[in-house]
Chain A
C-alpha cells in the first residue's frame, strides 16, 4: 500500500534552518510528483512546494520562495524540503503528498501523517 512518512520536524529558532524528509513506499516513486503542504495551528491548508517526477520542475509558494528548496533522491525514495531563514509564520504541520498525475498540475491522492515544525526563540 502507498505510504508516505515525514520526519525532521522540531523546534528551531527564527533565522535557523531545518530539513524535512518524506520517505515513500508502495509505489514506483520515480514516476510521481511529490508535494509539500503545510497547516499552521488551527488554520487551513497551504500548498508549499512540488517537485516533478524527474526533478525537472520545482515550484514554490511565494511565501517560501528563495528560502525553501525541494529535492529528491530516487535511490532512497525520498523527498527533502530544506527550509532556511525560518520565521515564526513557518510554524505548521508539514505534510508530504503524492501528486496523482494525469494533468500538468495535479491533485494529491495520498498524504503522509505530517511533521510539526515550530519556529520559536
Chain B
C-alpha cells in the first residue's frame, strides 16, 4: 500500500503570505496526485489534479508541482477564504489520502 505523508500538520500564516505544503509518497506515484481543500462541516473540494492541473474555477494563486514521491501545493498569496485543511491524495495505485494540513490564522 502507498502511504502519503503531509507536512506540516498545522501551518500558521497571515493574509498575503506565500504558503507551501509538502506531500511525500512511500513509493513513486508518477504524477497521479490531487489536492483538496476542506472547510469545517463541508465536503472536500478538489483544487489540483495530476500534480499541477488547476481544476476549473479554482483561483490561480493555487499551484502544484512535483513528481515521483515529492509534491507541493503552493498558495502564492494567502486570502481569508483559504484558511482550511488541505489533503493530498494519490491515485496511482488505488487511493490514499495524506493526513491533512490545517492552515490557520497567525
Q: Which residues of A contact B (CB under 8 A)?
A: 35, 37, 44-47, 50, 59, 62, 95, 97, 100, 103, 105-109, 111-114
Contacts and interface: CB of A to CB of B under 8 A. Distances in A.
Contacts of A114: 43
Contacts of A46: 97
Given A44-B98, A45-B97, A46-B97, A113 B91 contact: no
Contacts, number: 58
B39 interface: no
Given A44-B87, A45-B100, A100-B49, A105 B94 contact: yes
Contacts of A113: 42-43
A106 B89 CA distance: 10
Interface of B: 1, 32, 34, 36, 38, 42-46, 49, 55, 87, 89, 91-100
Contacts of A107: 34, 46, 49, 89, 91
B100 A103 contact: no
Nearest to B29: A105
B99 A44 contact: yes
Contacts of B98: 44
B37 to A, nearest CB: 11
15 contacts: A44-B98, A45-B38, A45-B87, A47-B89, A47-B94, A47-B96, A59-B94, A103-B32, A105-B95, A107-B89, A107-B91, A108-B34, A108-B46, A111-B44, A114-B43
A97 B34 CA distance: 14
Chain B facing A: main interface SS: loop
Contacts of B100: 44-45
Nearest to A48: B95
A47 B44 CA distance: 12
A111 B32 CA distance: 19
A53 B48 CA distance: 23
A21 B85 CA distance: 27
Contacts of A59: 94
A114 B93 CA distance: 25
A39 to B, nearest CB: 8
Nearest to A114: B43
